[in-house]
C-alpha cells in the first residue's frame, strides 16, 4: 500500500510541482502551487462534479425525505421502500458522497507531503524522474511577497475566509428547515474554525493550496449548478413517490 501511495500519488505530484516550478511558474513556488492545484482539480473534475451534484440533489430531496419519514413513521420497512423509490427516481446514491470523499483523501495527503518537502535535499531528489531537472535552490515565496516555507497569518486568514465562502456557496435554501440545512449552517462556522487550527502551524504553502482549492471549489459549484439547470437555492419539483 505504501509503494502504491508513493508511486501513484506522491511521486507524480512532486514531479509535476518541480516541473511547473522549473518551467511555466518562472521559479515561483506560489505560482507553481496555483498551477498544480488547477491541474489536479481539472483532472478530478468528474469526481467533484458527481460529489457536488449529489450534494445539490440531497439538499432538494430533504423536504420529500422528511415528508416520507413522517408519513411512514410507524412502518420502517415501508419508509425505507419509499425512500429507495425516491432515490431511484432522482438517480441519487446516498452513499456516493462517502465513497468520493475516501477517493479524494489520499490525494490531499500526498499533496501535503509534497508541500512539506525540502526540494533540494538528497532524499527528496531521489523521487524525481530522470527527465525532470532537479532544483538546486528554491524560492519558497509567492512573487516575493509571502514566505511559503513558514506559517503565515495572511495566508491563514485567507484560507479561513475562503473556507467560509465555500461553505456558504453550498448552503441549501435558507427557509428549508431540515437536518441537512441545519448541518450545512453549522459547517459554515465549524469548517473555518477547523481550517484555522489545522493550518495554524503548517507552512504557508499548504494554506496557499487550501486558498486556491477553496476558490476553485466555489467556481466549480457555480458551474455544476448551472449545468444542472438548478438555481443555487431552488427546489426539485414535487415527487410522485412521496404521495403514494
In a domain, 238, yes or no: no
pLDDT score for 47:
79
pLDDT score for 55:
77
pLDDT score for 112:
82
pLDDT score for 178:
54
In a domain, 110, yes or no: yes
In a domain, 131, yes or no: yes
Cβ atoms of 153 and 53 within 8 Å: the answer is no
In a domain, 199, yes or no: yes
In a domain, 47, yes or no: yes
In a domain, 232, yes or no: no
The residue range of the domain holding 40 is: 2-227
**Whole-model pTM?**
0.76
pLDDT score for 243:
42
Cell of 162: 475562503
How many separate domains does the chain show?
A: 1
DSSP state letter for 94 = T
Neighbours of 71 (CB within 10 A): 15
Q: 128 CB contacts (<8 Å, ≥6 apart)?
A: 14, 15, 18, 134
In a domain, 242, yes or no: no
- Give first-to-last CA distance, the chain, whole Å: 49
Q: What is the pLDDT along the chain (244 residues), one digit of tens a residue?
A: 788 888 989 999 999 999 999 999 989 999 999 999 999 888 888 878 877 777 777 777 878 888 898 888 888 888 889 888 888 888 777 766 666 667 677 887 888 888 877 777 777 878 889 999 888 777 888 988 999 988 999 999 999 999 999 888 877 655 445 555 566 677 778 889 999 998 998 889 989 999 999 999 898 888 877 776 554 444 454 444 444 4
In a domain, 234, yes or no: no
Amino acid at each position: 500500500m505504501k509503494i502504491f501511495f508513493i508511486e501513484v500519488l506522491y511521486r507524480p505530484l512532486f514531479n509535476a510541482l518541480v516541473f511547473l516550478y522549473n518551467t511555466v511558474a518562472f521559479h515561483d513556488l506560489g505560482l507553481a502551487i496555483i498551477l498544480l492545484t488547477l491541474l489536479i482539480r481539472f483532472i478530478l473534475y468528474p469526481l467533484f462534479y458527481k460529489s457536488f451534484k449529489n450534494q445539490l440533489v440531497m439538499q432538494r430531496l430533504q423536504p420529500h425525505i422528511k415528508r416520507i419519514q413522517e408519513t411512514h413513521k410507524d412502518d420502517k420497512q415501508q419508509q425505507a421502500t419509499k425512500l429507495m423509490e425516491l432515490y431511484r427516481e432522482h438517480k441519487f446514491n446516498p452513499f456516493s458522497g462517502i465513497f468520493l470523499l475516501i477517493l479524494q483523501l489520499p490525494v490531499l495527503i500526498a499533496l501535503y507531503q509534497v508541500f512539506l518537502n525540502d526540494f533540494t535535499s538528497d532524499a527528496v531528489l531521489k523521487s524525481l524522474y530522470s527527465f525532470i531537472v532537479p532544483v538546486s535552490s528554491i524560492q519558497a515565496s509567492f512573487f516575493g511577497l509571502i514566505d511559503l516555507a513558514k506559517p503565515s497569518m495572511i495566508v491563514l486568514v485567507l484560507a479561513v475566509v475562503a473556507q467560509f465562502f465555500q461553505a456558504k456557496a453550498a448552503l441549501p435554501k435558507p427557509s428549508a428547515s431540515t437536518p441537512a440545512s441545519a448541518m450545512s449552517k453549522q459547517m459554515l462556522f465549524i469548517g473555518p474554525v477547523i481550517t484555522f487550527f489545522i493550518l495554524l502551524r503548517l507552512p504557508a504553502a499548504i494554506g496557499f493550496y487550501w486558498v486556491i482549492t477553496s476558490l476553485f471549489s466555489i467556481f466549480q459549484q457555480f458551474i455544476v449548478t448551472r449545468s444542472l439547470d438548478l438555481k443555487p437555492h431552488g427546489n426539485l419539483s414535487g415527487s410522485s413517490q412521496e404521495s403514494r
